[in-house]
Amino acid sequence: MPTILILEDDASTRDALAAMLGDLFPRAHVIGARVDAGPGVAERDVTLVLTELDAVERVRARLPAGALVIALTREMGPDTLLRAEALGVAASVRAPATTQRLRVVLEPMLGRDGASRALDPE
């Protein structure tokens, strides 16, 4: 069962993302934390991390090894996408995230219901 970690400082945004992801991937375990979460975040067995692109640089060293990072970003221009690629982001989702956007980006990685992981982090 995959685990999705949402790193988001705004509690209402974090809760909304958790609800959408829970509906999309009912077999996945969805957890949320603030971006500045302590070292315990790195100790979790996490399949995928969803966070804002601006936070990726700050938290990259603390993320669980092997976790795919999905960036939320309002800007999807070439410079932003190159920046995401340089940071090792697996994919980007235009913010604000919608159920459809999350499905299109995450379903190939997690499977239709989140029961299996279809993408190797290599």
Domain membership of residue 120 (yes or no) is: no
pTM for this model (two decimals): 0.86
Domain membership of residue 12 (yes or no) is: yes
Number of folded domains in the chain?
Answer: 1
User: pLDDT per residue over 10-51, tens digit each?
Assistant: 999 999 999 999 999 999 999 999 988 766 666 678 899 999
C-alpha separations of 61 from 6, 23, 87, 112, 121 in Å = 16, 30, 11, 30, 16
Domain membership of residue 117 (yes or no) is: no
Domain membership of residue 118 (yes or no) is: no
Domain membership of residue 10 (yes or no) is: yes
Domain membership of residue 116 (yes or no) is: no
Domain membership of residue 121 (yes or no) is: no
> In this structure, are residues 33 and 50 in contact, taking their beta carbons and an 8 Å threshold?
no
Q: Identify the three-state secondary structure at position 92.
A: strand
Boundaries of domain holding 24: 3-110
Which CATH number covers residue 43?
3.40.50.2300
Helix (H) / strand (E) containing 66: none
For residue 118, what pLDDT band results from cuts at 50, 70 and 90? Answer: very low
C-alpha separations of 79 from 84, 95, 105 in Å = 9, 16, 20
